[in-house]
Amino acid sequence: SAQLPPMRVTMRNLSTSVRRQQLNSDVRITRTGKPILTVSGGRSSLGGYTATVFGATGFLGRYVVNRLARSGCTVVVPFREEMAKRHLKVAGDLGRVVFLEMDLRNTASIEESVRHSDIVYNLIGRDYPTKNFDLEDVHVEGTERIVEAVAKYDIDRFIQVSSHSAQLDSPSEFYRTKARGEQVARSIYPETTVVRPAPMYGYEDRLLHRLASPANIITSNHLQERIRPVHVIDVATALERMLHDDTTAAETYELYGPTDYSMAEINELVEKEAMTSRRHVNIPRRIAKPIAYYANKFLWWPIHSADEVEREFIDQIIDKNAKTFKDLDIEPVELKSLTFEYLKGYRSSSYYDLPPMSEKEKREEKKYLHVID
Ligand code: NDP
C-alpha cells in the first residue's frame, strides 16, 4: 500500500501530458503557407488567426465578430463611432477584440487596420446615401481603398460582402454599386471571396422589425416583391467557415434561405406572431420616389430612400453559377421556425395567460398586478 500514492501521481502526469500534446498539436497552415498555432480552449484559446472585420458595428458584424472571437481569433474592429462598438468588446477574451479608429477616406487608418491580419472581411454597406457618403463612395471607392490595403500588405484572404441581386445593369443604384464593388475587389485582389447575402433577419434586422413596428407600413409595390430571407447567424457561420476553408478563395457565394416568399406573405407571418395588424399604405412609385429622395436629403435620421423604393420592384435574383450554403455544409434555417423568437416582444400584454382567479380573489375582486413566470 506504501507504493500506491506514487503510482497515482504517475497516471495523473501521464494523462496531463497526453492532454497537453493534443492541445499543442493543432497547427493550421494558411493559403500562403504561414503556420497558425492554436491552443484550443474556446474563447480563451491561444494563437489562432487575426481577422479584421470592417463594418463590424452593423447588424451582421455583431454575429461575425462574436463567432470569430469566441473561437479564439484576434479580431480587429475598425470603427467610426465610440458608442457603436462597445458591445463587441465582450465577444472575446481580454485583449482579443482590438478597436482601431478608421475613416473610409483615410488610407493610413485602413492600412493600420489590415496590416497584421490573416483575413479581412468587408461588411461595409449602406442602404441609402448619407450627407458625406453616397452609395458609390461606400460600395465602390471604399471597397477599392480596403482592397488596395489588403493587396499591399499581402493579406492571405479577403472576403467581400456584397448583396443579392448585385448586377451591373440593375435599375437600383444600390445593386449596381454593389456589383461594381465586387468587380473592383476582384480586379485588385483576384482571390477575393464574394458573398451575396439575401435579406437577413434576426434581432436587429430591418425586415421583420420594419413590418412589425407600430408605424404604418408604407410601400409602393403592394408588398409584392419576392425574396428568400436568410437567418443572420447562418450567414455569420458561413463567413466563419470560409476562414477555415481556403478552397473558398476566389469563389462567389449566394446565401439565401430555403423558401421564396413575397413580402405580403412575410407580413402575414409577422402579423400572426405579433398578434396585431398594421395599417398598410401604398404610395405609387412616381410619388414615393421624389418624396423619399427629398426626405432622405433633408432629414438627418435614416429614412426610406428613393433607391429603396426602386428596390421594391426588383425580385431577388439568384445566380445559378454561384455556390450556396450547400457547398459549405450548412443547412439554412426556415424563417417560419424563428418568427416567434424574434417577434414575441410585439405581442400585446393582454395575450399573457394569467392563472385563473381563486374564489377568494374573486370575492375580494383582487386584480393581478403582475405575474412572475
Ligand atoms: P448595417 O447597415 O447594419 O451595417 C453597415 C456597416 O457599415 C456599419 O458597421 C457601418 O458603420 C458601416 N459603414 C457604412 N457606411 C460607412 C462609411 N461611409 N464608412 C465607414 N463605415 C461605414 O449592415 P448589415 O450588417 O445589415 O449588412 C452587412 C453587409 O451586408 C452590408 O454591406 C450590406 O449592404 C450587406 N447586405 C445586407 C443585407 C441585409 O438584409 N441586412 C442584405 C444584403 C446585403 P457605422 O456603424 O459606423 O455606421
Strand duo 74-79 + 50-54: pairing: parallel
Instruction: Taking residues 123-127, report their average pLDDT.
Output: 97
Ligand 1 atom closest to Cα of residue 205: 41
Share of the chain above pLDDT 70, in %: 88
**Of 59, 87, 134, 255, which is best to mutate to test ligand 1, by the most ligand atoms within 8 angstroms of its C-beta?**
59
Count of alpha carbons within 13 angstroms of residue 364, beta-carbon side? 7
Q: Is the pLDDT of residue 18 over 50?
A: no
Positive or negative, the CA dihedral 321, 150, 246, 230 is negative
Provide the pLDDT confidence category of residue 364 given band limits of 50, 70 and 90: low
What's the mean pLDDT in 342-348?
Answer: 90
SS3 1: coil
Q: What is the pLDDT of residue 34?
A: 87
Confidence of residue 373 (pLDDT cuts 50, 70, 90): low
pLDDT tens digits, one per residue of 56-93: 999 999 999 999 999 889 999 999 999 999 999 999 99
Greater pLDDT, 357 or 7? 357
pLDDT of residue 336: 95
Asked if residue 15 has pLDDT above 60, the reply is: no
| pTM, full prediction | 0.89
The SS3 of residue 51 is: strand
Determine the pLDDT at residue 46: 81
Whether this model's ipTM surpasses 0.95 comes out as yes
pLDDT at 350 over 50: yes
Ranking 81-90, 165-174, 180-189, 272-281 by mean pLDDT, the lowest is: 272-281
Cell, residue 45:
484559446
**Atom of ligand 1 lying closest to residue 207 CA:** 40
State the pLDDT at residue 366: 58
- Average pLDDT score over the chain: 90
Mean pLDDT of 188-197: 98
Which H/E stretch holds residue 160? strand 157-161
pLDDT recorded at residue 356: 66
Output the CA 142–ligand 1 centroid distance in Å.
12
Show the cell assigned to 323.
Answer: 455556390
Give the 3-state DSSP-derived string for 169-221, with helices as H, strands as E and coil as C: CCCCHHHHHHHHHHHHHHHHCCCCEEEEECCEECCCCCCHHHHHCCCCEEECC
- As for ligand 1, residues whose beta carbon falls within 6 Å of it are 55, 57-61, 80-81, 84, 104, 123-126, 133, 138, 161, 163-164, 197, 199-200
With 50 as the cut, is the pLDDT of residue 1 above it?
no
| Helix/strand/coil for 303 | coil
**Ligand 1 atom 41: residue of nearest CA:** 200
- Compute the distance from residue 370 Cα to the ligand 1 centre, in Å: 40
Q: What gap in Å lies between CA 272 and CA 253, rounded to an integer?
A: 33
The rounded Å distance from CA 276 to ligand 1 centre is 30
Cell of 189: 485582389
Over range 358-371, report the average pLDDT: 64
pLDDT of residue 109: 98
Q: Which residues have CB under 8 Å from 103's CB, separation 6+?
A: 80, 109
Choose which residue among 54, 57, 132, 254 to substitute to test ligand 1 binding: the one with the highest number of ligand atoms within 8 A of its C-beta: 57
